[in-house]
Amino acid sequence: MTGRCGVAIACAAVVACGGAEVPAGAHRAAAGDNGTPAPDDAALLRDLEATVLEGYSQLTLGNIEAYADHVAEDVPIVFFGLGPRDRYIGPKAAAPLDVFRIDVCREVLSKNLFMHLSRDRSVAWVFDDVSCRAPDPFEGRTASIPLRLTAVYQRYLDTWTLVAQHVSYAVPPGEIVRWAANGQLQRPARIRTEIARSDGVRRQIASALGGLLRGSPRYVAQKLARDETSVVVGPGPLHEFYGADVAAAPPVARWFGDGANVRPDGMYVGLARSERVAWVAVNLAVTARAGDAPVAFGLRGLYVFERRDDTPGVWQQVQAHVSVPVTRELLARRVFGAEP
């Protein structure tokens, strides 16, 4: 089930879109343990929308502790920020509060929020075009920086809790290659792969991601969901695909020209309590060409997979968000035109 809205937040004011858009006849989830009906899809999406927007409002107000109240405590969390070192994977209790900030943003405004429920309604994934309001270091005015945000929420008791988030700034692939050739890109912080041989579920998910990265026709046909819940966000500003259009999204390597190659370079696989949804935080090692010279650089991605029936090993990608991490200096040059 899917919801979509456009909203704006400024300081403590929240202007909502009148509730998430849900088709008529939304199904009800299974009854709760006490026999009362569980919330239907529309109610779950409204609750999710309120949770997401409240989080943006707390970020805008600088209430990071209040923002962290919506972050999951029962599972390891994943946070990818804008910079190459802005990465945290681990328990919330050990996370510095700065992990939850969106670097450079004084205000966070939602422009185009997409929300999707898993089929068992226990997990949701979201995508948003976010406007980051930041001070211009030269003109003394406030600039609007367009960011992309994807996140995964898991239902815990009667609330949505944030388990994974990826914030990025879109950079055209040609510029990424040029930055890499000039030595201006830094490798993203390392992710250690720890998937046991006996962990069949996580190994299946890692295998599905590998096949999709290779662009294997068989994997793409079987492992790429193409319904209204599907979203693909690539490194460049034009790399956004929704619904059935995700079938037109090229493999990551193809964004960087003929002969480019991409491979996983460390991943973490998180698994929902239901074992029906998984989220994958991954570093991607890319080799491409800048003219006649080979170049190498790193990307990072947050992927969401769902197991939609009981067929063993059939996990489908429902959301992907791949980006190049950018330093503050590169972001300032790109946005403001000079070094701060």
Give the alpha-carbon dihedral of 21, 26, 31, 35, to 10 degrees: 90
Instruction: Read off the amino acid at residue 182.
Output: N
What is the total count of domains within the chain? 2
Q: Of 168, 194, 213, which marks where a domain is finished?
A: 168
Q: For 22-31, 75-84, 151-160, 203-212, which range has the lowest pLDDT when averaged over its residues? A: 22-31
What pLDDT sits at residue 38?
59
**pLDDT score of 2:** 67
How far, in whole angstroms, is CA 337 from its chain's centroid?
27
284/332 same-domain check: yes
The torsion of the CA quartet 122, 87, 11, 74, rounded to 10 degrees, works out to 30
Question: How many whole angstroms separate alpha carbon 80 and alpha carbon 100?
Answer: 9
Position of tokens 């899917």? 2
Cα separation values, 137 from 169, 335, 340, Å:
19, 11, 6
Looking at residue 1, what is its pLDDT? 64
Chain segment 147-181, per-residue pLDDT in tens: 999 999 999 989 999 999 999 999 999 999 999 99
181 lies in the same domain as 71: no
pLDDT digits (tens, 9 = 90+) for 88-116: 999 999 999 999 999 889 999 999 999 99
Q: Has this prediction a pTM greater than 0.75? A: yes
Note whether 18 and 48 are same-domain residues.
yes
Query: Which ranges of the chain does DSSP label H, i.e. alpha helix?
Result: 41-61, 64-68, 173-181, 200-214, 217-223, 328-336
217 and 293 inside one domain: yes
Percent of the chain residues past pLDDT 90, beyond the cut:
74
CATH code for position 154: 3.10.450.50
AA identity, residue 219: Y
315-323 vs 231-233, strand pairing mode: parallel
Last residue in a domain, options 135, 151, 168: 168
164 and 222 co-located in one domain: no
Q: Which domain holds residue 287?
A: 173-336
pLDDT at 133 over 60: yes
* Residues 43 and 185 grouped into a single domain: no
In angstroms, the CA 148 to CA 323 distance is 10
Per the prediction, the chain carries an average pLDDT of 87
The pLDDT score that the predictor gives to residue 29 is 34
Q: Which pLDDT belongs to residue 25?
A: 30
Higher pLDDT: 223 or 26? It is 223
What share of the chain in percent tops pLDDT 70?
87
Average pLDDT over residues 266-290: 97
Check whether residue 150 and residue 188 sit in a common domain.
no
In this structure, the answer to whether residues 131 and 204 fall within a common structural domain is: no
Domain boundary among 168, 202, 224: 168
Claim to verify: residue 255 and residue 319 sit in the same structural domain = yes
